[in-house]
Structure 1
Amino acid sequence: MTRHETTPFLGAGTDAGARPRILIVDDSPAQRMLMAAQLRRFGFDVLEADCAERALEVCRSQEIRLILSDWVMPGMCGPELCHRVKSDPDLSYAYFILLTSKSERADIAHGLDRGADDFLTKPVNGDELRARLKAGMRVIAMQHELSEKNRLIGQTLSELQGLYGKIEEDLLEAQKLQEALVRERFRDFGTGQVSLLLRSSGHVGGDLVGFFRASASQVGLYSIDVSGHGISSALMTARLAGHLNTASPRQNIALSHTAGDFYRVLPPDEVVRRFNELMSTVISTDLYFTIAYAIVDLDSGMVDFCQAGHPHPVVQRVDGAVELHGQGGLPVGLIEEADYAPVRLKLCPGDRLLLASDGITECPGRSGGQLEDAGFQDMLAARKALAGPALLDGLVTDLESFSGVSEFPDDVSVAMFEFRGAEPGR
């Protein structure tokens, strides 16, 4: 017999230099002896068990990848042994061949149902045995390759989960930093009060609301919505917030330095034009933003504002009537030297002004369609008795009821000024 004939399985799906191991299970010593001799000539490392129970002990103590088992044995039969081996999570995959004199289809179906991979009819033909074992070794090799790929996939997924966890931590920190951009959510100025609402659709978002004391008698109020979502939009809001910060008046784009420590409050339309020039000449990005920016006179209630692509500013009068103001305008950063029109209106005591993002009016409802301006006006009318943060909280509750979700698909933000007017006699 040639070397190829005696050792055709060496190295097939096993470690280099290792002899493939096979377990023979048969209660007949003579049958085991004849089968073992033939398998050793094929180049296998042969282990023997005289019953299914002993075979299970061998499988638990050594790694067995091929099993030849008789069907009928005292105690546990071959199909039941196959089921026990295949269903044990602590055992490695084993290719299981049943040796049987049974040829009925019902018997074969029962063996397959218990997990058998192949069958050999007694008496076993040597050439057929060799061919079936070759097929089994190919299956084992493929299973080994699949297991290795699954291991690599699992390792990669574990690494990705670690990276995602780190990204999640970074996003949570970024969320805290973005929330810090809105340092105050409420302030009472005596003759009026400002309330702010900001809820990002993710960890960070592209909406920004805020206010600043423009002068002794004026308050600046703004609502900004940067295009897109996520980190890039959030970074842009951080930069824009720096240009509307009175802590550094020289950096505040809404103020013009005159002399010493004195600054002049610029008209809202000029402020928006400055932003547009900044986006066109200094900030190199494909992002753009919409803005509604207003200067409110705390004594008279006069409001000068500019709308640039943002939803219309809303005025709710003391009697509950709701009005939309503004002329639309182009978003900031789309067209160089775009023109922006100023708008003026007057608030009477008890009136309020709301600058809201499109996350409210474009919020999808649970039954389809969007809230739109009419729906927003209805919400304000229904909540007219509330004021300050309580009103904004009520609007969020109504929006959750309308959409059917608590996490909105877009950022939701509102900057609101409520005019109280001077007290009688002052």
Structure 2
Amino acid sequence: MKALAENPVQPDASAEQGTAGAVLLVDDSRVQRRILRLLLERWGYAVTEAASGNEALEICHRRNVDFIISDWMMPGLTGLEFCTRFRALEKADYVYFILLTSKSETGEIVHGLEVGADDFLTKPVNANELRARLSAGRRILGMQNALNEKNQMISAALDELQGLYDTVDRDLMQARKIQESLLPERMNRFGKTTVSMLMKPCGHVGGDLVGVFSPGPNRLAFYNIDVSGHGVTSALMTARLASYLSGRFLEQNIAVMKRFDRFFALRQPQEVAHILNERLLSDNGVEEYFTLAYGIADLMTGKVRMVQAGHPYPAVQRRDGSVDFVGDGGPPVGLLPGVEYQSFEIQLYEGDRILLYSDGFTESECETGGMLEEEGLKQMLVAGASSTGPEVLDELFWLLNMRRKDEPLKDDVSAVLLEYGGPE
């Protein structure tokens, strides 16, 4: 059988040995290998020969090639079997595989493509057609190499991004610990009265803030703040507000004033809201604002005076379990200059309690998209009327999660519960 069809082949005088690529020539016929080798080397290819599929596999384990030209019919491993085993090898770069065959049946050609052959040439081989097929293969390998380089660049970029993400993630975890350290204990006792708190950020850090402090016996202040937005910027604002309303350092607390250099007195809630509003507006570049529910309680009389600045209406639950929402509304803090905030009064009796909460509760959506709203919160409070302390807030948050099923939090959730135990 002739290895080449009788067509004139033009030599490539400018081709240097091996510059066109590396070819592994697999054929049990030494004559056919020699003829094809002469052509390939004339075209600038570096050629390695193998007399069988098994020998070719051994060569493929030791060195890299760009092309494989293999006869289909060979003793031992056929060209098809060799192709199948070769494709099973782990190779970093793609190799273009051409089968030489006398078969012309469509089914056989399809089978060859399925096991990994890229192209076919019918014997006797037409030299010009072989060269054209190799040129097409070089274009494909060029695109493949360019794609591999881009994939490597993408992989390196992803690795770098992952490293940056891990760094940010560690920083955010530390920021969360710092933010948690700004909060008082979950439950605080003031004589017979208890104040419980809940804060559940929707991310690593949150924009909600809860707190309570007491400047002396039978007096306390409690608050719930919701800063606009989410994430780091909001968390930084809560850290700042926590310093303004610190229970550990009353000298720095804007909500108290020192009397006669001996004791601290609580400012009125509307005055506190006004001071916070003016401070926030005086800072250039700060675009955040926040909603606020802030109250002061006289534990001897049960009187609570509050200011509501854009925050959800406080819920008052009486000893018999009934729930009412109270408040006069008002604009958020940090939006408008010169705002005059108004306060209102609530009379608590022994066994009554008041709940401050962020809109993460009432605006929480269920599976069907409906919000909890005040009516849903009221039903939860009535159902949990027998619970006390942090257990009340844990039950509310659990019921909230049950409504959402597997949906993650879309907003921070926070609450403060004051349970009045009567005077000492």
User: Aligning the two structures, in what range does the TM-score lie when normalised by the shorter sequence?
Assistant: over 0.9
Structure 2 stretches of 5 or more lacking a match?
Answer: 1-7
Q: CA deviation at 1:9?
A: 7.8
Structure 1 stretches of 5 or more lacking a match?
Answer: 12-17
**Aligned twin of 1:61:** 62
Contact kept in structure 2, 1:24 and 1:67, CA below 8 Å: yes
Taking the TM superposition and a 5 Å limit, the aligned residue runs for 1:108-119 are: 108-119=109-120
**Aligned twin of 1:15:** none
Q: CA deviation at 1:2?
A: 12
| Cα distance in structure 1, aligned partners of 2:115 and 2:251 | 81
Taking the TM superposition and a 5 Å limit, the aligned residue runs for 1:24-423 are: 24-90=25-91, 92-282=93-283, 284-405=285-406, 407-422=408-423
Q: Secondary structure at the match of 2:198?
A: strand
| Cα distance in structure 1, aligned partners of 2:349 and 2:407 | 35
Q: Secondary structure at the match of 2:277?
A: helix
Contact kept in structure 1, 2:22 and 2:45, CA below 8 Å: yes
| Cα distance in structure 2, aligned partners of 1:120 and 1:7 | 26
| Cα distance in structure 2, aligned partners of 1:68 and 1:362 | 68
Q: CA deviation at 1:283?
A: 5.9
Q: CA deviation at 1:278?
A: 0.7
Contact kept in structure 2, 1:307 and 1:328, CA below 8 Å: yes
**Aligned twin of 1:14:** none
Contact kept in structure 2, 1:6 and 1:43, CA below 8 Å: no
| Cα distance in structure 2, aligned partners of 1:216 and 1:69 | 95
Q: Deviations over 1:263-286 (max 9, x none)?
A: 332110110011110111136311
| Cα distance in structure 2, aligned partners of 1:36 and 1:62 | 18
Q: What TM-score do the two structures reach when normalised by structure 2?
A: 0.94
Q: Deviations over 1:337-390 (max 9, x none)?
A: 122111101001000011100111111112320111000010010000000011
| Cα distance in structure 1, aligned partners of 2:348 and 2:9 | 105
CA separation of 1:221 and 1:126: change in aligned 2, threshold 3 A = same
| Cα distance in structure 1, aligned partners of 2:98 and 2:406 | 56
| Cα distance in structure 1, aligned partners of 2:396 and 2:383 | 10
CA separation of 1:90 and 1:141: change in aligned 2, threshold 3 A = closer
Once the two structures are overlaid, the 10-residue window that deviates more, 273-282 or 256-265, is 256-265
Residue identity opposite 2:39 in structure 1: Q
Contact kept in structure 1, 2:312 and 2:358, CA below 8 Å: yes
Residue identity opposite 1:411 in structure 2: D
CA separation of 1:154 and 1:126: change in aligned 2, threshold 3 A = same
Once the two structures are overlaid, the 10-residue window that deviates more, 351-360 or 108-117, is 108-117
Contact kept in structure 1, 2:212 and 2:247, CA below 8 Å: no
Q: CA deviation at 1:123?
A: 1.1
Residue identity opposite 2:137 in structure 1: G
Residue identity opposite 1:42 in structure 2: W
| Cα distance in structure 2, aligned partners of 1:266 and 1:44 | 90
Contact kept in structure 1, 2:9 and 2:128, CA below 8 Å: no
Q: CA deviation at 1:143?
A: 1.1
CA separation of 1:203 and 1:211: change in aligned 2, threshold 3 A = same
Contact kept in structure 2, 1:191 and 1:299, CA below 8 Å: no
Q: CA deviation at 1:216?
A: 2.5
Q: Secondary structure at the match of 1:311?
A: coil
Q: CA deviation at 1:47?
A: 0.4
| Cα distance in structure 1, aligned partners of 2:33 and 2:353 | 95
Contact kept in structure 1, 2:17 and 2:41, CA below 8 Å: no
| Cα distance in structure 2, aligned partners of 1:169 and 1:30 | 67
